């Protein structure tokens, strides 16, 4: 019976960890996408600056700040206890706190 509870807790811990890992992967994908777009926008702006410096006008194109970063991933899951809590020892049962 206690073994079933331990197995159930381990399965729940694995499920929570897998869910967290998937959320972290999605966050990293969004970050890569963000920086790829930001780099492309920056390169396009630099190209337009260089083009204007070569006789196509003297005004700089407006610089647009980068969009906000994607939200950070959620904190890691609170993993369940691996073992069900023991019932408190009865008074005078001979179990000492130092023995545990």
Domain presence at residue 40? yes
Quote the CA–CA distance of 87 and 89 in Å, as a whole number.
Answer: 6
Q: How far is CA 33 from CA 8, 64, 74, in A?
A: 38, 18, 19
Q: How many domains does the chain have?
A: 1
pLDDT in the model for residue 75:
73
Domain presence at residue 29? yes
Quote the CA–CA distance of 64 and 46 in Å, as a whole number.
Answer: 12
pLDDT band at 66 (very low <50, low <70, confident <90, very high): confident
- 84 near 5, Cβ under 8 Å? yes
Least confident of 10-19, 21-30, 89-98: 89-98
The domain in which residue 34 lies consists of 17-49
**In the 8-state DSSP scheme, what is residue 68?**
P
Domain presence at residue 31? yes
**In the 8-state DSSP scheme, what is residue 91?**
T
């Amino acid at each position: 019976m206690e073994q079933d509870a331990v197995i159930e807790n381990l399965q729940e811990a694995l499920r929570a960890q897998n869910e967290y890992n998937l959320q972290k992967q999605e966050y990293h994908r969004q970050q890569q996408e963000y920086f790829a777009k930001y780099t492309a926008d920056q390169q396009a702006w630099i190209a337009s600056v260089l083009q204007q410096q070569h006789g196509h006008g003297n005004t700089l194109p407006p610089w647009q700040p980068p969009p906000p970063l994607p939200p950070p991933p959620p904190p890691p899951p609170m993993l369940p206890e691996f073992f069900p809590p023991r019932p408190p020892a009865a008074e005078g049962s001979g179990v000492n706190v130092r023995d545990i």
